[in-house]
Amino acid sequence: GGELNAANKEPVSVAPTNITTAQPRVKTRTASLKKKVKDKGKAKLVEKTKVLKSRKAQIAIDEEVARKIKAESNADMQDNIDWNKVVEQVQSRQSDAVRKYQALKRKLVSVAQARKNMMIYLKNMA
């Protein structure tokens, strides 16, 4: 082995051995190392200068914009409403009310129940 021992009489060779070393890695700095400062929105607001118009001209422009918006919203509303479905819903509600009324008419009512119903009716009418 590799132990030094006086009893070991084998000649030890001290020949140079080829040792390969890894190439040193060159570290490159990237832009990501520099921390970017986040904008926290605390800077002063700089308002753009507006061209001042006469008051009457501005009112006329506002009215025109309002008319356009109203026309668009009316067009959207007309397109979105299916009037056949609306009519069906109204008729179904009316028919439900009629069915309930007819069911109540068919049902026999005791004198006490009729008196109670009349009292409720009179309270609601007053």
Q: Where are the domains of the chain?
A: 52-81, 88-126
Query: pLDDT by residue (tens digit) across 60-71?
Result: 999 999 999 988
Question: Which residue has better confidence, 38 or 64?
Answer: 64
Compute the distance between CA of residue 91 and CA of residue 97 in angstroms, rounded to an integer.
Answer: 10
Q: Computed from CA positions of residues 24, 28, 29, 30, in that sequence, does the dihedral angle turn out positive or negative?
A: negative
Q: In the prediction, which pLDDT does 119 show?
A: 94
Element (H, E) at 61: helix 55-80
For the chain, the first-to-last Cα distance in angstroms comes to 119
Q: Looking at the predicted structure, is the pLDDT value of residue 126 above 80? A: no
What is the reported pTM?
Answer: 0.24
Query: pLDDT by residue (tens digit) across 68-101?
Result: 998 888 777 766 777 788 888 888 877 777 888 8
Compute the distance between CA of residue 46 and CA of residue 27 in angstroms, rounded to an integer.
Answer: 43
